[in-house]
């Protein structure tokens, strides 16, 4: 339980990428994936370029390739559609290993797979080098709506408490002989969720009163006083500029 | 139920980058931002200065509930979206905001779903599933207010219809800007069929949870707001 300090994808370190202000990293990641998505699908070399760019960042951030690879399996369910495309797609068909596959379908599948993978790798790089607290600070500095930042802050501080409560209730049910295997046994679980909601809501009421008694003014205090320098922005946006250059190259050659 | 094995493929409605082309992505980001701004304004009117702590804790609840997997087909399990559930419990405005924050955090911290398609995911799962689910509750207001059984039945339908509607949102987005030429009928059949199954699980959990909350603290159920019976004073014959 390390609420507010770490999250499962964070890999602590002190590399130049870790030290970069969070808002710079968020903007760079967003620019990067936007470039990837806007790249024409047939610019195969450009996609290799993006991968090389990311690999460069991993070396700089001291993220081992194996670590990235293991975590990138998150993507699998999201690209499940890809498997169907070559079989169900329309248009001219090509023979691959004795299977008749649709050519536009294959292109479409490649498009989603390549861009989806690069997207996940970018997100992993951001999550792996940015602790939770910094991410909230980044959102705050990027002027995300105050309400959203406050909700996200409280949510992240309490999610472990609520999850632990859910876990305790599950253990309590199991130790009283609960063995949910079939649909009609779901009643106890659902009542547990109901109780969890009531407890969360009531905890929210108590948290609000506790915040008031500690001088809550309705706005989240500035999470850090440190200012981001123009130099940090320039350094952080170098990979984003490189991605932009790659995207433009893609448009020119395609 | 809920014993979803970890080896199962979890069917999720998050979209990966590259599924939608760039203009579509931009349009749905705009829709998501405008929709959430309206929700934030309405949520603030409902909860005033308590908005942030209450919504924060309800969001943590949604996050915890989304960890619950249930089997839908052999080898595949779905997880609760919770859109209709929070819509019934805290109302569509606060509910949509909570689900949206969960999605943003999942995209930034857990690399769940793409950053570019986050806007479209917010439209599907935070806006469509919540508001359609709540729409079902409003449409069945007579049934909802009559008895606890009515409320439970309406909550089941809200969970089912909300989930299928979110899947339809996915299909519409794919039809507008899908990055691959695929027969729309196939996508439609696949998404709606799969999410009808997920929707049944979602509906059952939504119904049972709403029933449980209505039994413990009916005053917390948003859908029942304003329907509390008037307090009846019974005195024994005194006429002063």
DSSP class of residue B122 equals I
Q: Chain B partners of A123 at a C-beta cutoff of 8 Å?
A: 107-108, 111, 114-115
Three-point CA angle B19, B24, B30, nearest 5°: 125
Q: Report yes or no: B37 and B136 within 8 Å, Cβ to Cβ.
A: no
- The per-residue pLDDT for B89 is 87
- A 135-194 residues with CB < 8 A to B: 135, 145, 147-148, 150-159, 161-163, 165-166, 180-183, 185-187, 189-191, 193-194
Strand partners for B9:
B76
Strand partners, B79: B69
DSSP string, A132-193: HHHHHHHHHHTT--HHHHHHHHHHHHHHHHHHHHHHHHHHHHHHTT----SGGGHHHHHHHH
CB-side neighbour CA atoms (13 Å) of A187: 2
Q: How far apart are CA A164 and CA A168, in angstroms?
A: 6
User: Per-residue pLDDT averaged across B141-158, rounded?
Assistant: 87
Q: Do A124 and B107 touch (CB under 8 A)?
A: no
Instruction: Select from 1.10.40.30, 1.10.3720.10, 1.10.1760.20, 3.40.50.150 the CATH code of B19-224.
Output: 1.10.1760.20
Compute the distance between CA of residue B169 and CA of residue B112 in angstroms, rounded to an integer: 19
Q: What is the pLDDT of residue A92?
A: 67
Q: Where are the domains of chain A?
A: 16-138+227-253, 145-213
Residue B178 sits at φ, ψ, to 5 deg, of -60, 135
Where b means 16+ CB within 10 Å and e means fewer, A186-222 reads: bebbbbbbbbbbbbbbebbeebbeebeeeebeeebee
Strand residues in chain A grouped as ranges (E): 93-96, 99-102
Q: Give residue B3's pLDDT.
A: 38
pLDDT at A160: 86
Q: Which residues on chain A are in Cβ contact (under 8 Å) with B53?
A: 154, 204, 207-208, 211
Q: Does the pLDDT value for residue B95 go beyond 50?
A: yes
Minimum mean pLDDT range among A125-134, A164-173, B98-107, B226-235: B226-235
Give the count of alpha carbons within 13 A of A188, CB side only: 15
Q: Cα separation of B227 and B147, whole Å? A: 11
Listed by number, the residues of chain A in 184-203 with a beta carbon closer than 8 Å to a beta carbon of chain B are: 185-187, 189-191, 193-198, 200-201, 203
Higher pLDDT, A140 or B68: A140
Structure tokens at A185: 């046994």
Domain coordinates of chain B in residue numbers?
19-224
The reported pLDDT for the residue numbered B132 is 94
- The pLDDT, as a whole number, for residue B209 is 86
Interface check A247 vs B, CB under 8 A: no
Per-residue pLDDT for A221 more than 60? yes
Q: What is the DSSP letter of B73?
A: E
Match 């087909």 to its residue by tokens. B73
Does residue B136 register a pLDDT over 90? yes
With CB atoms and an 8 Å threshold, state whether B115 touches A9: no
Query: What digits encode the pLDDT tens for the residues A54-102?
Result: 999 999 888 888 888 888 876 666 666 677 666 666 666 666 666 667 7
Q: Which positions in chain A touch B18 (Cβ < 8 Å)?
A: 36-37, 111-116, 118-119
Q: Give me the mean pLDDT over the A126-145 stretch.
A: 86
* Tens digits of residue pLDDT in B173-223: 888 877 666 677 877 888 888 888 888 888 988 898 888 888 888 888 888
Q: Above 60 in pLDDT, residue A1?
A: no
Distance of alpha carbon B212 from alpha carbon A190, whole angstroms: 7
> A18-50 pLDDT, tens per residue?
888 889 999 999 899 889 888 888 888 889 999
- A-chain CB neighbours of B89 within 8 Å are 197
Rg over alpha carbons for chain B, rounded to the nearest Å, is 19
> Averaged over A204-229, what is the pLDDT?
83
Q: B120: which residues sit within 8 A by CB, 6+ positions away?
A: B15, B20, B24, B25, B28, B29, B32, B170, B173
Query: Which residue out of B29, B52, B193 would a mutagenesis test of the A interface target, given it has the greatest number of A Cβ atoms within 10 Å?
Result: B52
Asked whether the beta carbons of residue B108 and residue A91 sit closer than 8 angstroms, the reply is no
Report the gap between the CA of A5 and the closest CA in chain B (Å): 12
- Residue range B11-18: mean pLDDT, rounded: 71
Comparing A132 with B32, the larger pLDDT belongs to: B32
* Statement: residue B2 has pLDDT above 60: no
The structure tokens 């749905």 sit at B28
Cβ pair A239, A24 in contact under 8 A: no
């Amino acid at each position: 339980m390390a609420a507010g300090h770490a999250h499962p994808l964070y890999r602590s370190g002190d590399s130049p990428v870790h030290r970069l202000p969070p808002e710079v990293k968020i903007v760079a990641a967003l620019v990067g994936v936007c470039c990837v998505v806007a790249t024409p699908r047939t610019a195969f070399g450009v996609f290799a370029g993006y991968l090389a760019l990311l690999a460069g960042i991993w070396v700089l951030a001291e993220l081992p390739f194996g670590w990235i690879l293991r975590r990138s399996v998150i993507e699998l369910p999201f690209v499940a559609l890809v498997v169907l495309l070559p079989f169900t797609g329309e248009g001219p068909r090509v023979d691959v290993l004795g299977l008749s596959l649709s050519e536009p379908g294959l292109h479409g599948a490649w498009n989603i797979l390549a861009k989806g993978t690069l997207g996940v790798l970018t997100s992993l790089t951001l999550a792996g080098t940015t602790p939770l607290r910094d991410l909230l600070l980044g959102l705050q500095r990027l002027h995300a709506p105050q309400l959203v930042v406050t909700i996200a802050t409280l949510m992240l501080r309490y999610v472990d408490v609520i999850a632990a409560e859910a876990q305790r209730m599950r253990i309590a049910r199991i130790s009283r002989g609960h063995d949910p295997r079939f649909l009609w046994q779901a009643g106890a679980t659902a009542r547990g969720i109901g109780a969890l909601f009531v407890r969360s809501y009531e905890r929210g009421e108590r948290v609000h009163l506790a915040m008031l008694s500690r001088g809550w003014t309705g706005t989240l205090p500035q999470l850090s006083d440190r200012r981001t320098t123009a130099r940090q922005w320039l350094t952080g946006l170098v990979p984003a500029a490189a991605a932009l250059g790659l995207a433009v190259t893609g448009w020119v050659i395609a | 139920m809920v014993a979803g094995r970890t080896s199962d493929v979890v069917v999720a409605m998050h979209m990966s980058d590259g599924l939608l082309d760039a203009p579509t992505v931009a349009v749905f980001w705009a829709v998501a931002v405008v929709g959430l701004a309206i929700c934030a304004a309405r949520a603030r009117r409902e909860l005033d200065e308590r908005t942030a702590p209450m919504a924060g804790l309800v969001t943590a609840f949604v996050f915890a509930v989304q960890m619950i997997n249930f089997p839908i087909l052999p080898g595949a399990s779905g997880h609760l979206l919770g859109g209709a559930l929070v819509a019934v419990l805290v109302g569509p405005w606060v509910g949509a905001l909570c689900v949206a924050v969960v999605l943003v955090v999942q995209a930034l911290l857990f690399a769940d779903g793409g950053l570019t398609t986050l806007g479209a995911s917010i439209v599907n799962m935070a806006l469509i599933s919540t508001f359609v689910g709540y729409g079902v509750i409003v449409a069945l207001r007579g049934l909802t207010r009559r008895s606890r059984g009515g409320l439970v039945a309406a909550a089941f339908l809200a969970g089912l219809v909300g989930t299928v509607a979110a899947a339809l949102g996915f299909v519409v987005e794919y039809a507008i800007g899908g990055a691959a030429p695929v027969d729309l009928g196939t996508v439609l059949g696949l998404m709606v069929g799969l999410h009808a199954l997920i929707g049944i699980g979602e509906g059952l959990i939504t119904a049972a949870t709403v029933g449980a909350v209505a039994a413990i603290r009916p005053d917390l159920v948003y859908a029942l707001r304003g329907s509390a019976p008037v307090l009846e004073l019974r005195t024994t014959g005194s006429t002063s």
